[in-house]
Structure 1
Amino acid sequence: MRAVIVFARHELRLLVSLLLWVGRRRHGVADGRAFGYARGQGAVMAGFGFVCLIEAFTMSVLLRDWPALHTAVLILDAYTLVLLAGMYAAWQVRPHVLDDGALRVRHAAHVDLRVPLDRIAAVRHETRSTHERADGELNLAVGSQTSVTLELTEPVTHVTFLGRRRDVHVVRLHADDARDLVRDLERVLTRVRNVPSPSPDPPG
């Protein structure tokens, strides 16, 4: 039952993302700076959509003598296309967001991880196309590639798609403008680290 609820919530987020995309709005950006990560993925999604259309047409021909089944499969195919569009929309409207308190790392509608700036030990531009699963590491590849690596002073908790909690101390993500993200993040980190601590109150 829990899995059903999780999938239903995820599909709802995809549908909301589709509405935001149609309305040319973004989710959770506010006063932060947004960094996209899905440039070039439109062609891939269009390819998947074309395959789905071919499949829908084929099934429509094969099931034309079974009206009830034909209608059910047609509805399912149409909904699949809507979810596919929602996935692409989620990539567009849910970017990474950098503000003065945290870097919000996202991946479509199923990853939304807030990394406080005071937990970031190092950030670097690092293009990787192979990612071995390891404890304490989170790899959010796009097109099998990550381009930014964050090393943390202490772990942050990542909640997986099905609700399992993992502590991660290394986060790898992809950004279309990875060098800009690294540069801006380093600038913000420098500013945050150079803020003087408040002076203790003088003795009474």
Structure 2
Amino acid sequence: MGALTVATALVLAMAAPASAHNYLVASTPEENSTITEVPESFSVTTNEALLDLSGDGSGFAIEVTDTEGLYYGDGCVSIVDSTVAVGSSLGDAGEYRMLWQLVSADGHTVSGEVDFTWAPSTDAVTSPGAATAPDCGGEGIAAPPEATTAPVVRGDANLADVLWIGGAIAAVLVAGAATLFVSTRRRKD
């Protein structure tokens, strides 16, 4: 019985670090802030390094929209340690929402939103919004003045790879625990 307790404790100890998702520790702009200058980039920083298995930012996104549903920014995702960022642009003064999605260090997708107010100075450069989310190297489709679209955080097929890896790790842990249990039972017999 003692071996089973030890085996269970070992499995739980090994699995514990994998169960904690990254969480937001900072963003540019900050939640509920009012900004007067366009930031160099829109960014989200978490408590741990991010998991970018593909090396190309697949599964990561930051999308900024205004109250009309128009998109801003360049869509080019960069990941450095615990920060994901995209190039920035903003349109007319008003309320904006930054939706973000990332792959946590434990392989799970984490997402959230940051609301902020844009109150540009008189010399601030503004940009027209786009009807669709911009893609890196391309542009979103320019929106007619009356167009509105709902913001959507894009997923990515590479997320399936992350889930397969997480499932494989879980299977190995379960197999290890079962092997330890069986081997300790045989010794008693």
Q: TM-score, normalised by structure 2?
A: 0.28
Higher relative contact order (CA 8 A, sep 6+): 2
Query: Which of the pair is proportionally richer in helix?
Result: 1
Bigger Cα Rg = 2
Q: TM-score, normalised by structure 1?
A: 0.27
